[in-house]
Protein backbone atom coordinates (compact mmCIF):
# COMPACT_ATOMS: atom_id res chain seq x y z
CA UNK A 1 0.00 0.00 0.00
CA UNK A 2 1.27 3.49 -0.83
CA UNK A 3 1.10 6.32 1.67
CA UNK A 4 -2.07 7.88 0.29
CA UNK A 5 -3.86 4.53 0.39
CA UNK A 6 -2.71 3.96 3.97
CA UNK A 7 -3.96 7.39 5.05
CA UNK A 8 -7.37 6.70 3.48
CA UNK A 9 -7.53 3.28 5.15
CA UNK A 10 -6.76 4.80 8.55
CA UNK A 11 -9.29 7.60 8.13
CA UNK A 12 -12.02 5.24 6.91
CA UNK A 13 -11.33 2.51 9.46
CA UNK A 14 -10.24 -0.14 6.95
CA UNK A 15 -7.71 -1.42 9.46
CA UNK A 16 -7.49 -3.87 12.35
CA UNK A 17 -5.91 -3.40 15.75
CA UNK A 18 -4.37 -6.21 17.78
CA UNK A 19 -3.03 -5.88 21.32
CA UNK A 20 -1.30 -8.70 23.16
CA UNK A 21 -0.34 -8.88 26.82
CA UNK A 22 2.93 -10.80 26.82
CA UNK A 23 4.89 -11.74 29.90
CA UNK A 24 7.40 -8.87 29.51
CA UNK A 25 5.78 -6.58 26.95
CA UNK A 26 2.35 -5.35 25.97
CA UNK A 27 2.36 -4.76 22.21
CA UNK A 28 -0.16 -3.06 19.94
CA UNK A 29 -0.12 -3.48 16.15
CA UNK A 30 -2.29 -1.71 13.56
CA UNK A 31 -2.57 -3.49 10.20
CA UNK A 32 -3.88 -2.32 6.84
CA UNK A 33 -6.11 -3.90 4.23
CA UNK A 34 -3.20 -6.04 2.99
CA UNK A 35 -2.60 -7.28 6.57
CA UNK A 36 0.84 -5.66 6.84
CA UNK A 37 1.66 -3.64 9.98
CA UNK A 38 1.22 0.11 9.67
CA UNK A 39 2.20 1.16 13.19
CA UNK A 40 2.96 -0.33 16.57
CA UNK A 41 3.31 0.62 20.20
CA UNK A 42 4.48 -1.17 23.30
CA UNK A 43 4.94 -1.08 27.05
CA UNK A 44 7.47 -3.05 29.07
CA UNK A 45 6.32 -4.70 32.27
CA UNK A 46 7.37 -7.45 34.66
CA UNK A 47 5.52 -9.86 36.89
CA UNK A 48 6.01 -9.58 40.64
CA UNK A 49 6.33 -12.36 43.21
CA UNK A 50 3.83 -11.36 45.91
CA UNK A 51 3.15 -13.66 48.86
CA UNK A 52 4.72 -16.51 46.94
CA UNK A 53 2.61 -16.06 43.77
CA UNK A 54 3.48 -14.46 40.42
CA UNK A 55 1.13 -11.59 39.60
CA UNK A 56 0.59 -8.27 37.81
CA UNK A 57 -1.50 -5.51 39.41
CA UNK A 58 -4.68 -4.17 37.83
CA UNK A 59 -3.03 -0.75 37.68
CA UNK A 60 -0.19 -2.21 35.61
CA UNK A 61 -2.69 -3.85 33.25
CA UNK A 62 -4.47 -0.58 32.47
CA UNK A 63 -1.37 1.60 32.48
CA UNK A 64 0.30 -0.80 30.06
CA UNK A 65 -2.73 -1.03 27.80
CA UNK A 66 -3.15 2.72 27.58
CA UNK A 67 0.56 3.35 27.06
CA UNK A 68 0.92 0.76 24.30
CA UNK A 69 -2.09 2.26 22.52
CA UNK A 70 -0.81 5.82 23.11
CA UNK A 71 2.55 5.05 21.51
CA UNK A 72 0.83 3.39 18.56
CA UNK A 73 -1.49 6.37 18.12
CA UNK A 74 1.52 8.72 18.27
CA UNK A 75 3.31 6.70 15.57
CA UNK A 76 0.24 6.88 13.33
CA UNK A 77 0.13 10.66 13.76
CA UNK A 78 3.86 11.19 13.15
CA UNK A 79 4.14 8.75 10.23
CA UNK A 80 0.90 9.44 8.36
CA UNK A 81 -0.18 12.87 9.64
CA UNK A 82 -3.70 11.78 10.62
CA UNK A 83 -5.33 11.13 14.01
CA UNK A 84 -6.38 7.60 14.89
CA UNK A 85 -10.08 7.88 15.64
CA UNK A 86 -11.45 4.52 14.54
CA UNK A 87 -10.38 1.10 13.28
CA UNK A 88 -12.25 -1.64 11.48
CA UNK A 89 -11.95 -4.24 14.22
CA UNK A 90 -10.08 -4.89 17.46
CA UNK A 91 -8.76 -8.03 19.12
CA UNK A 92 -7.04 -8.73 22.42
CA UNK A 93 -4.84 -11.62 23.39
CA UNK A 94 -2.70 -12.43 26.37
CA UNK A 95 -0.71 -14.97 28.30
CA UNK A 96 -2.91 -18.05 28.47
CA UNK A 97 -4.25 -19.66 31.62
CA UNK A 98 -4.03 -18.05 35.04
CA UNK A 99 -6.79 -17.00 37.39
CA UNK A 100 -8.90 -13.86 37.56
CA UNK A 101 -12.00 -14.29 39.75
CA UNK A 102 -14.61 -11.55 40.19
CA UNK A 103 -17.64 -11.05 42.39
CA UNK A 104 -21.09 -9.97 41.21
CA UNK A 105 -20.05 -6.29 41.35
CA UNK A 106 -17.00 -6.85 39.15
CA UNK A 107 -14.44 -6.65 41.95
CA UNK A 108 -11.30 -8.76 41.68
CA UNK A 109 -11.44 -11.24 44.58
CA UNK A 110 -7.77 -12.29 44.66
CA UNK A 111 -4.62 -10.95 42.97
CA UNK A 112 -4.30 -12.08 39.35
CA UNK A 113 -2.44 -15.41 39.33
CA UNK A 114 -0.41 -15.95 36.17
CA UNK A 115 0.52 -19.06 34.20
CA UNK A 116 3.89 -19.09 35.96
CA UNK A 117 2.53 -20.30 39.31
CA UNK A 118 3.02 -23.98 40.13
CA UNK A 119 1.31 -24.08 43.53
CA UNK A 120 -1.59 -26.09 42.11
CA UNK A 121 -0.08 -29.57 42.37
CA UNK A 122 -2.80 -31.21 44.51
CA UNK A 123 -5.51 -29.78 42.24
CA UNK A 124 -3.87 -31.04 39.06
CA UNK A 125 -3.53 -34.56 40.44
CA UNK A 126 -7.17 -34.74 41.51
CA UNK A 127 -8.56 -33.14 38.34
CA UNK A 128 -6.46 -35.20 35.94
CA UNK A 129 -7.81 -38.34 37.63
CA UNK A 130 -11.38 -36.99 37.69
CA UNK A 131 -11.41 -35.99 34.02
CA UNK A 132 -8.99 -38.60 32.61
CA UNK A 133 -7.51 -35.59 30.85
CA UNK A 134 -4.24 -33.84 31.64
CA UNK A 135 -4.83 -30.67 33.67
CA UNK A 136 -1.58 -28.66 33.87
CA UNK A 137 -0.58 -26.56 36.87
CA UNK A 138 -1.22 -23.25 35.11
CA UNK A 139 -4.77 -23.91 33.84
CA UNK A 140 -7.56 -21.76 35.24
CA UNK A 141 -9.51 -24.77 36.52
CA UNK A 142 -6.41 -25.91 38.43
CA UNK A 143 -6.10 -22.50 40.10
CA UNK A 144 -9.80 -22.49 40.96
CA UNK A 145 -9.76 -25.99 42.39
CA UNK A 146 -6.60 -25.30 44.39
CA UNK A 147 -8.31 -22.25 45.90
CA UNK A 148 -11.21 -24.52 46.85
CA UNK A 149 -8.87 -27.12 48.36
CA UNK A 150 -7.07 -24.39 50.30
CA UNK A 151 -10.44 -23.10 51.54
CA UNK A 152 -9.74 -19.57 50.39
CA UNK A 153 -12.64 -17.44 51.65
CA UNK A 154 -13.15 -15.57 48.37
CA UNK A 155 -14.30 -18.73 46.56
CA UNK A 156 -17.89 -18.41 47.81
CA UNK A 157 -18.19 -14.97 46.20
CA UNK A 158 -17.09 -15.89 42.66
CA UNK A 159 -19.47 -14.70 39.96
CA UNK A 160 -17.13 -14.77 36.94
CA UNK A 161 -13.86 -16.55 36.19
CA UNK A 162 -11.72 -15.45 33.27
CA UNK A 163 -8.19 -14.89 31.98
CA UNK A 164 -6.21 -11.71 31.37
CA UNK A 165 -7.37 -11.38 27.74
CA UNK A 166 -10.94 -12.21 28.73
CA UNK A 167 -10.85 -9.59 31.48
CA UNK A 168 -9.70 -6.76 29.24
CA UNK A 169 -12.22 -7.74 26.54
CA UNK A 170 -15.02 -7.76 29.13
CA UNK A 171 -14.15 -4.32 30.43
CA UNK A 172 -14.01 -2.80 26.93
CA UNK A 173 -17.12 -4.47 25.49
CA UNK A 174 -19.18 -5.69 28.43
CA UNK A 175 -19.13 -9.20 26.90
CA UNK A 176 -18.11 -12.24 28.97
CA UNK A 177 -16.82 -14.27 26.04
CA UNK A 178 -13.64 -16.05 25.01
CA UNK A 179 -12.07 -17.58 21.90
CA UNK A 180 -11.98 -21.36 21.93
CA UNK A 181 -8.18 -21.48 21.88
CA UNK A 182 -7.93 -19.36 25.01
CA UNK A 183 -10.85 -21.23 26.58
CA UNK A 184 -8.99 -24.51 26.05
CA UNK A 185 -6.47 -23.30 28.64
CA UNK A 186 -9.21 -22.81 31.20
CA UNK A 187 -11.08 -26.12 30.99
CA UNK A 188 -11.12 -29.06 28.51
CA UNK A 189 -12.82 -28.38 25.17
CA UNK A 190 -14.95 -30.74 23.10
CA UNK A 191 -13.72 -30.17 19.52
CA UNK A 192 -16.98 -31.58 18.15
CA UNK A 193 -19.03 -28.79 19.76
CA UNK A 194 -16.27 -26.17 20.11
CA UNK A 195 -17.41 -25.58 23.68
CA UNK A 196 -16.39 -26.62 27.16
CA UNK A 197 -16.67 -30.39 27.46
CA UNK A 198 -20.21 -30.97 28.78
CA UNK A 199 -19.51 -34.39 30.31
CA UNK A 200 -16.50 -33.12 32.23
CA UNK A 201 -18.41 -30.02 33.34
CA UNK A 202 -21.09 -32.29 34.77
CA UNK A 203 -18.45 -34.40 36.48
CA UNK A 204 -16.89 -31.33 38.05
CA UNK A 205 -20.22 -29.95 39.19
CA UNK A 206 -20.86 -33.27 40.94
CA UNK A 207 -17.52 -32.84 42.69
CA UNK A 208 -18.49 -29.27 43.66
CA UNK A 209 -21.67 -30.50 45.32
CA UNK A 210 -19.56 -31.64 48.27
CA UNK A 211 -18.25 -28.09 48.75
CA UNK A 212 -21.64 -26.38 49.24
CA UNK A 213 -20.76 -23.49 46.95
CA UNK A 214 -23.45 -21.09 45.67
CA UNK A 215 -22.49 -21.56 42.00
CA UNK A 216 -21.78 -24.23 39.39
CA UNK A 217 -18.77 -24.06 37.09
CA UNK A 218 -20.96 -23.49 34.02
CA UNK A 219 -22.39 -20.36 35.65
CA UNK A 220 -19.04 -18.64 36.17
CA UNK A 221 -17.22 -19.49 32.92
CA UNK A 222 -17.26 -17.26 29.79
CA UNK A 223 -19.18 -18.08 26.60
CA UNK A 224 -16.95 -19.81 24.05
CA UNK A 225 -16.63 -18.44 20.49
CA UNK A 226 -14.58 -19.51 17.46
CA UNK A 227 -12.49 -17.50 15.01
CA UNK A 228 -14.73 -15.37 12.80
CA UNK A 229 -17.48 -14.93 15.39
CA UNK A 230 -18.48 -11.41 16.39
CA UNK A 231 -17.66 -10.79 20.05
CA UNK A 232 -19.17 -7.41 20.89
CA UNK A 233 -18.33 -3.79 20.23
CA UNK A 234 -16.29 -1.12 21.97
CA UNK A 235 -18.50 0.68 24.48
CA UNK A 236 -18.20 4.37 25.29
CA UNK A 237 -16.71 3.48 28.67
CA UNK A 238 -14.38 0.99 27.00
CA UNK A 239 -13.18 3.60 24.51
CA UNK A 240 -12.20 5.88 27.41
CA UNK A 241 -10.35 3.00 29.10
CA UNK A 242 -8.34 2.30 25.95
CA UNK A 243 -7.84 5.91 24.89
CA UNK A 244 -8.28 8.39 27.77
CA UNK A 245 -7.88 11.31 25.32
CA UNK A 246 -11.35 10.55 23.98
CA UNK A 247 -10.28 10.46 20.32
CA UNK A 248 -11.18 6.80 19.76
CA UNK A 249 -14.80 6.28 18.76
CA UNK A 250 -17.10 3.71 20.34
CA UNK A 251 -18.89 1.02 18.33
CA UNK A 252 -15.84 -0.75 16.87
CA UNK A 253 -16.46 -4.51 16.51
CA UNK A 254 -14.30 -7.01 18.42
CA UNK A 255 -13.20 -10.54 17.64
CA UNK A 256 -13.06 -13.03 20.49
CA UNK A 257 -10.11 -12.65 22.86
CA UNK A 258 -7.48 -15.32 22.32
CA UNK A 259 -4.41 -16.67 24.07
CA UNK A 260 -0.82 -16.23 23.01
CA UNK A 261 -0.68 -19.86 21.87
CA UNK A 262 -3.51 -19.29 19.40
CA UNK A 263 -2.13 -16.01 18.11
CA UNK A 264 1.26 -17.65 17.66
CA UNK A 265 -0.38 -20.30 15.48
CA UNK A 266 -2.10 -17.62 13.41
CA UNK A 267 1.04 -15.47 13.09
CA UNK A 268 2.96 -18.44 11.68
CA UNK A 269 0.15 -19.87 9.53
CA UNK A 270 0.19 -23.03 11.67
CA UNK A 271 -3.52 -23.71 12.14
CA UNK A 272 -3.89 -26.65 9.73
CA UNK A 273 -3.33 -30.32 10.58
CA UNK A 274 0.30 -31.52 10.59
CA UNK A 275 1.62 -28.02 11.14
CA UNK A 276 3.70 -27.00 14.16
CA UNK A 277 4.88 -23.72 15.55
CA UNK A 278 7.40 -23.14 18.29
CA UNK A 279 7.22 -19.92 20.30
CA UNK A 280 10.49 -19.41 22.15
CA UNK A 281 11.09 -16.42 24.39
CA UNK A 282 10.58 -16.05 28.13
CA UNK A 283 8.86 -19.45 28.01
CA UNK A 284 8.85 -21.95 25.14
CA UNK A 285 6.03 -24.02 23.77
CA UNK A 286 5.49 -26.18 20.71
CA UNK A 287 2.01 -26.51 19.21
CA UNK A 288 1.25 -29.43 16.88
CA UNK A 289 -2.16 -29.55 15.18
CA UNK A 290 -3.15 -33.20 15.34
CA UNK A 291 -4.71 -35.47 12.76
CA UNK A 292 -6.18 -37.70 15.47
CA UNK A 293 -6.49 -37.85 19.23
CA UNK A 294 -3.60 -39.16 21.34
CA UNK A 295 -3.85 -42.76 22.51
CA UNK A 296 -3.67 -41.90 26.21
CA UNK A 297 -3.26 -39.11 28.75
CA UNK A 298 0.26 -37.70 29.09
CA UNK A 299 0.96 -35.43 32.08
CA UNK A 300 3.68 -33.78 29.97
CA UNK A 301 1.34 -32.90 27.07
CA UNK A 302 -1.39 -30.25 27.21
CA UNK A 303 -4.37 -30.68 24.93
CA UNK A 304 -5.62 -27.30 23.68
CA UNK A 305 -7.11 -26.10 20.39
CA UNK A 306 -6.57 -23.80 17.46
CA UNK A 307 -8.74 -20.66 17.31
CA UNK A 308 -11.18 -22.75 15.25
CA UNK A 309 -11.30 -25.61 17.76
CA UNK A 310 -9.00 -28.21 16.17
CA UNK A 311 -7.16 -30.35 18.74
CA UNK A 312 -3.57 -29.33 19.41
CA UNK A 313 -0.87 -31.10 21.40
CA UNK A 314 1.05 -28.49 23.33
CA UNK A 315 4.40 -29.00 25.01
CA UNK A 316 5.05 -26.08 27.33
CA UNK A 317 7.97 -25.19 29.58
CA UNK A 318 8.00 -22.24 31.93
CA UNK A 319 11.48 -20.96 31.14
CA UNK A 320 13.41 -20.57 27.88
CA UNK A 321 15.69 -17.55 27.46
CA UNK A 322 15.62 -16.04 30.97
CA UNK A 323 18.90 -17.69 32.04
CA UNK A 324 20.62 -16.76 28.77
CA UNK A 325 19.45 -13.18 29.27
CA UNK A 326 20.93 -13.17 32.78
CA UNK A 327 24.32 -14.34 31.50
CA UNK A 328 24.29 -11.75 28.71
CA UNK A 329 23.57 -9.09 31.34
CA UNK A 330 26.64 -10.33 33.23
CA UNK A 331 28.80 -10.13 30.10
CA UNK A 332 27.43 -6.64 29.47
CA UNK A 333 28.46 -5.63 32.98
CA UNK A 334 31.96 -7.00 32.27
CA UNK A 335 32.32 -5.05 29.01
CA UNK A 336 31.17 -1.90 30.79
CA UNK A 337 33.73 -2.47 33.55
CA UNK A 338 36.39 -2.71 30.83
CA UNK A 339 35.23 0.61 29.44
CA UNK A 340 34.03 -1.01 26.22
CA UNK A 341 30.84 0.39 24.73
CA UNK A 342 28.78 -2.42 23.19
CA UNK A 343 25.12 -2.40 22.27
CA UNK A 344 23.31 -5.25 24.00
CA UNK A 345 21.68 -6.42 20.76
CA UNK A 346 25.14 -6.72 19.19
CA UNK A 347 26.37 -8.58 22.27
CA UNK A 348 23.47 -11.03 22.03
CA UNK A 349 24.20 -11.64 18.36
CA UNK A 350 27.92 -12.17 18.94
CA UNK A 351 27.38 -14.60 21.81
CA UNK A 352 24.65 -16.54 19.98
CA UNK A 353 26.88 -16.94 16.92
CA UNK A 354 29.72 -18.13 19.14
CA UNK A 355 27.56 -21.15 19.94
CA UNK A 356 27.84 -22.36 16.34
CA UNK A 357 31.62 -22.76 16.78
CA UNK A 358 31.30 -24.99 19.85
CA UNK A 359 31.67 -28.75 20.08
CA UNK A 360 28.60 -30.56 18.78
CA UNK A 361 27.62 -31.77 22.26
CA UNK A 362 28.65 -28.58 24.07
CA UNK A 363 31.96 -29.96 25.32
CA UNK A 364 30.56 -31.97 28.21
CA UNK A 365 29.08 -28.90 29.93
CA UNK A 366 25.63 -28.94 31.52
CA UNK A 367 23.12 -26.22 32.34
CA UNK A 368 19.57 -25.97 33.67
CA UNK A 369 17.68 -22.77 32.90
CA UNK A 370 14.99 -23.23 35.56
CA UNK A 371 13.86 -19.84 36.83
CA UNK A 372 10.67 -21.51 38.04
CA UNK A 373 9.36 -25.03 38.47
CA UNK A 374 8.90 -27.31 35.47
CA UNK A 375 6.01 -29.80 35.62
CA UNK A 376 7.40 -31.91 32.75
CA UNK A 377 10.38 -32.90 34.89
CA UNK A 378 8.37 -32.74 38.12
CA UNK A 379 10.65 -30.08 39.59
CA UNK A 380 8.76 -27.63 41.76
CA UNK A 381 11.14 -24.69 42.07
CA UNK A 382 13.56 -22.67 40.01
CA UNK A 383 17.33 -22.90 40.53
CA UNK A 384 19.33 -21.95 37.42
CA UNK A 385 22.48 -24.09 37.37
CA UNK A 386 25.69 -24.43 35.38
CA UNK A 387 27.71 -27.61 35.94
CA UNK A 388 30.98 -28.95 34.55
CA UNK A 389 33.56 -31.60 35.30
CA UNK A 390 37.33 -31.09 35.26
CA UNK A 391 37.35 -32.86 31.89
CA UNK A 392 34.70 -30.60 30.29
CA UNK A 393 35.88 -28.30 27.51
CA UNK A 394 35.08 -24.98 29.14
CA UNK A 395 35.11 -22.45 26.28
CA UNK A 396 32.88 -19.51 25.51
CA UNK A 397 31.50 -21.27 22.42
CA UNK A 398 30.63 -24.40 24.38
CA UNK A 399 29.22 -22.31 27.23
CA UNK A 400 26.81 -20.51 24.89
CA UNK A 401 25.95 -23.67 22.95
CA UNK A 402 24.98 -25.53 26.11
CA UNK A 403 22.83 -22.66 27.36
CA UNK A 404 20.98 -22.61 24.03
CA UNK A 405 20.56 -26.39 24.25
CA UNK A 406 19.31 -26.06 27.83
CA UNK A 407 16.73 -23.48 26.76
CA UNK A 408 14.92 -26.20 24.78
CA UNK A 409 16.00 -29.27 26.77
CA UNK A 410 12.79 -29.73 28.74
CA UNK A 411 10.74 -29.05 25.60
CA UNK A 412 12.58 -31.92 23.91
CA UNK A 413 11.50 -34.33 26.67
CA UNK A 414 7.85 -33.59 25.93
CA UNK A 415 8.22 -33.69 22.16
CA UNK A 416 9.85 -37.13 22.31
CA UNK A 417 6.60 -38.52 23.71
CA UNK A 418 4.71 -37.28 20.65
CA UNK A 419 7.27 -38.34 18.06
CA UNK A 420 8.40 -41.65 19.57
CA UNK A 421 5.31 -42.97 21.36
CA UNK A 422 2.44 -41.42 19.36
CA UNK A 423 4.17 -41.35 15.96
CA UNK A 424 2.91 -37.81 15.38
CA UNK A 425 3.83 -36.51 11.92
CA UNK A 426 4.43 -32.88 10.99
CA UNK A 427 5.02 -31.26 7.61
CA UNK A 428 6.53 -27.99 8.80
CA UNK A 429 7.83 -26.22 11.90
CA UNK A 430 7.61 -22.46 12.12
CA UNK A 431 9.69 -20.71 14.78
CA UNK A 432 9.06 -17.29 16.30
CA UNK A 433 10.14 -15.33 19.35
CA UNK A 434 13.40 -13.91 20.69
CA UNK A 435 15.20 -17.27 20.56
CA UNK A 436 15.12 -17.02 16.74
CA UNK A 437 16.10 -13.37 16.49
CA UNK A 438 19.77 -13.99 15.66
CA UNK A 439 19.96 -15.31 12.11
CA UNK A 440 20.49 -19.08 11.79
CA UNK A 441 21.43 -19.83 15.42
CA UNK A 442 18.07 -20.53 17.06
CA UNK A 443 16.87 -22.37 13.95
CA UNK A 444 19.89 -24.68 13.97
CA UNK A 445 19.45 -25.49 17.63
CA UNK A 446 15.72 -26.17 17.25
CA UNK A 447 16.28 -28.24 14.10
CA UNK A 448 18.82 -30.33 16.02
CA UNK A 449 16.38 -30.79 18.91
CA UNK A 450 13.37 -31.73 16.75
CA UNK A 451 15.32 -33.38 13.89
CA UNK A 452 13.07 -31.65 11.34
CA UNK A 453 13.57 -28.52 9.21
CA UNK A 454 12.69 -25.28 10.99
CA UNK A 455 11.48 -22.18 9.15
CA UNK A 456 11.29 -18.56 10.25
CA UNK A 457 9.13 -16.11 8.32
CA UNK A 458 10.07 -12.50 7.78
CA UNK A 459 6.91 -11.53 9.67
CA UNK A 460 7.67 -13.81 12.65
CA UNK A 461 9.00 -10.88 14.68
CA UNK A 462 5.55 -9.26 14.66
CA UNK A 463 4.37 -11.95 17.05
CA UNK A 464 1.04 -12.43 18.76
CA UNK A 465 -0.16 -8.84 18.49
CA UNK A 466 -0.08 -9.25 14.72
CA UNK A 467 -1.75 -12.65 15.11
CA UNK A 468 -4.73 -11.25 17.02
CA UNK A 469 -4.95 -8.35 14.53
CA UNK A 470 -5.23 -10.99 11.78
CA UNK A 471 -8.06 -12.69 13.69
CA UNK A 472 -9.82 -9.32 13.95
CA UNK A 473 -9.36 -8.80 10.19
CA UNK A 474 -10.64 -12.32 9.49
CA UNK A 475 -13.83 -11.65 11.45
CA UNK A 476 -14.32 -8.41 9.53
CA UNK A 477 -13.36 -9.46 6.01
CA UNK A 478 -13.87 -13.22 5.56
CA UNK A 479 -16.02 -14.51 2.75
CA UNK A 480 -19.07 -16.57 3.64
CA UNK A 481 -17.96 -19.98 4.97
CA UNK A 482 -14.27 -19.17 4.32
CA UNK A 483 -12.11 -21.13 6.75
CA UNK A 484 -9.37 -19.49 8.78
CA UNK A 485 -6.85 -21.81 7.13
CA UNK A 486 -7.91 -20.65 3.66
CA UNK A 487 -7.98 -16.98 4.66
CA UNK A 488 -4.45 -17.12 6.06
CA UNK A 489 -3.01 -19.13 3.18
CA UNK A 490 -4.60 -17.15 0.34
CA UNK A 491 -4.95 -13.62 1.72
CA UNK A 492 -2.19 -13.22 4.30
CA UNK A 493 0.73 -15.55 3.65
CA UNK A 494 0.62 -16.03 -0.12
CA UNK A 495 4.16 -15.35 -1.35
CA UNK A 496 5.48 -14.92 2.18
CA UNK A 497 9.28 -14.99 2.32
CA UNK A 498 11.27 -16.81 4.95
CA UNK A 499 14.23 -19.07 5.60
CA UNK A 500 14.38 -22.80 6.31
CA UNK A 501 17.23 -24.70 7.97
CA UNK A 502 17.37 -28.48 7.83
CA UNK A 503 18.86 -30.43 10.75
CA UNK A 504 22.61 -31.02 10.48
CA UNK A 505 23.44 -34.65 11.36
CA UNK A 506 26.37 -33.55 13.53
CA UNK A 507 24.14 -31.10 15.41
CA UNK A 508 21.50 -33.79 15.92
CA UNK A 509 24.07 -36.24 17.30
CA UNK A 510 25.53 -33.54 19.54
CA UNK A 511 22.14 -32.55 20.90
CA UNK A 512 21.31 -36.22 21.52
CA UNK A 513 24.51 -36.59 23.55
CA UNK A 514 23.69 -33.42 25.48
CA UNK A 515 20.18 -34.71 26.27
CA UNK A 516 21.59 -37.95 27.70
CA UNK A 517 23.70 -35.81 30.05
CA UNK A 518 20.72 -33.54 30.72
CA UNK A 519 18.52 -36.43 31.84
CA UNK A 520 21.27 -37.88 34.05
CA UNK A 521 21.81 -34.54 35.77
CA UNK A 522 18.21 -33.74 36.68
CA UNK A 523 18.81 -34.99 40.21
CA UNK A 524 21.32 -32.15 40.61
CA UNK A 525 18.52 -29.68 39.90
CA UNK A 526 16.16 -31.46 42.29
CA UNK A 527 18.78 -31.37 45.03
CA UNK A 528 19.36 -27.65 44.46
CA UNK A 529 15.64 -27.00 44.89
CA UNK A 530 15.62 -29.01 48.13
CA UNK A 531 18.82 -27.52 49.57
CA UNK A 532 18.71 -23.88 48.42
CA UNK A 533 15.55 -22.63 50.08
CA atoms of 505 and 146, how far apart (whole Å): 46
CA atoms of 62 and 225, how far apart (whole Å): 25
Please give the pLDDT value at position 427: 83
pLDDT by 10s per residue, the chain, length 533: 789 999 999 999 999 999 999 988 999 999 999 999 999 999 999 999 999 999 999 999 999 999 999 999 999 999 999 999 999 999 999 999 999 999 999 999 999 999 888 899 999 999 999 999 999 999 999 999 999 999 999 999 999 999 999 999 999 999 999 999 999 999 999 999 999 999 999 999 999 999 999 999 999 999 999 999 999 999 999 999 999 999 999 999 999 999 998 998 999 899 999 999 898 888 898 999 999 888 899 988 999 999 999 999 999 898 999 999 999 999 999 999 999 999 999 999 999 999 999 999 999 999 999 998 898 999 988 999 999 999 999 999 999 999 999 999 999 999 999 999 999 998 879 998 889 989 999 999 999 999 999 999 876 556 789 999 999 999 999 998 899 999 999 999 987 778 999 999 999 999 999 999 999 999 999 999 999 98
Please give the pLDDT value at position 500: 93
Q: Which residues of 81-97 are buried (b: 16+ CB within 10 A; e: fewer)?
A: eeebebbbbbbbbbbbb
Q: Work out the angle at residue 490's Cα, subtended by the Cα atoms of residues 227 and 487, and round it to the nearest 5 degrees.
A: 10
Whether 474 and 227 have beta carbons less than 8 Å apart is answered as: yes
Cα distances (angstroms) measured from residue 292 to each of 139, 218, 305, 415, 425:
23, 28, 13, 16, 11
Please give the pLDDT value at position 56: 96
* Residue 366, CA atoms < 13 Å, CB-side half-sphere: 19
φ, ψ of residue 340 to 5 degrees: the values are -100, 120
CA atoms of 496 and 477, how far apart (whole Å): 20
Please give the pLDDT value at position 278: 92
Q: What is the DSSP letter of 351?
A: H
Amino acid sequence: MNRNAIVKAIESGKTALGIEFGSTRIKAVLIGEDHTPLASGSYEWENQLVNGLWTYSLDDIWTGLQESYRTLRAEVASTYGVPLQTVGAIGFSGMMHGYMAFDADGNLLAPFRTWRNTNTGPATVELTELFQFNIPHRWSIAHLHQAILDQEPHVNQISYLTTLAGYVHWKLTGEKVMGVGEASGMFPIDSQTNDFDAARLARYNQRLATENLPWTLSEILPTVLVAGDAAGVLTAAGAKLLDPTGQLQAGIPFCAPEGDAGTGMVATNSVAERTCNVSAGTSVFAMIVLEKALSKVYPEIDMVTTPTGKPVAMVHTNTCTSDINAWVDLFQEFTTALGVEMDQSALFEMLYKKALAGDADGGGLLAYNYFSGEPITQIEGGRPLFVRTPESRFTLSNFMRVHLFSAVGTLKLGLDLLFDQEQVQIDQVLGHGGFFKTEEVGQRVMAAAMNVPVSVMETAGEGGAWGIALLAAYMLNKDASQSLEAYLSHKVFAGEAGSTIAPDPADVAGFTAFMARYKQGLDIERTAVDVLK
